[in-house]
Chains A and B, each alone.
Chain A
Amino acid sequence: MEISHERSGDVVVVVPVGRVDAVTSDKLEQSLLGLVAQGEAKLVLEMRAVEYISSAGLRVLLRLARKQKERSGRIVLSSLGPAVRQVFELAGFVSLFEMEASRELAITRLANAPSP
Chain B
Amino acid sequence: MEACERMRVPGSKEGLRLAAERFEAFSAAHGLSKGEVWPFQVALDETLSNIVGHGLSGGGEGTAIEIELRLQGREIEMLIVDDAPAFNPLEAPTPDTELPLEERQVGGLGIALLRKLMEVVEYERRGERNRLRLRRKLMEEA
Chain B residues numbered 96-128 whose CB sits less than 8 Å from any CB in chain A = 97-98, 100-102, 104, 106, 109-110, 112-113, 116-117
Q: Check B42 against A92 for contact (C-beta < 8 Å).
A: no
Is B46 close to A, CB under 8 A?
A: yes
Which residues of B are in contact with A by a Cβ distance under 8 Å?
13, 16-17, 20, 34-35, 38, 41-42, 45-46, 48-49, 52-53, 97-98, 100-102, 104, 106, 109-110, 112-113, 116-117, 139, 141-142
A82 at the interface (CB under 8 A from B): yes
A-B contact pairs, 6 of them (CB 8 A): A19-B41, A51-B34, A54-B46, A66-B102, A91-B113, A96-B100
Q: In the complex, what distance in Å separates the CA atom of A58 from the CA atom of B49? A: 14
Known contacts: A22-B13, A62-B104, A90-B116. The answer to whether A52 contacts B98 by CB under 8 A is: no
A69 and B112 CA atoms in complex are apart in Å by: 26
Assess the A19–B109 pair: CB atoms within 8 A: no
* Given A54-B110, A55-B106, A23 and B16 contact (CB-CB distance below 8 Å): yes
Chain B residues lying within 8 Å of A93, measured Cβ to Cβ, are 97
Interface centre among B34, B38, B112, B116 (most CB of A within 10 A): B38
B102 & A58 in contact (Cβ 8 Å cutoff): no
A40 within 8 A of B: no
Considering only residues 51-81 of chain A, those with a C-beta below 8 Å from chain B are: 51-56, 58-59, 62, 65-66, 69
Q: Are A55 and B113 in contact (CB under 8 A)?
A: yes
Cα distance, A33 to B100, chains bound together (Å): 21
Q: In the complex the two chains form, what is the Cα distance from A92 to B112 in whole Å?
A: 11
Bound Cα distance from A71 to B117, whole angstroms: 35
Taking CB atoms and an 8 Å cut-off, the chain A residues in 14-44 that contact chain B are 19, 21-23
Which residue of chain A lies nearest to B104 when distances are taken between CB atoms in the complex? A62
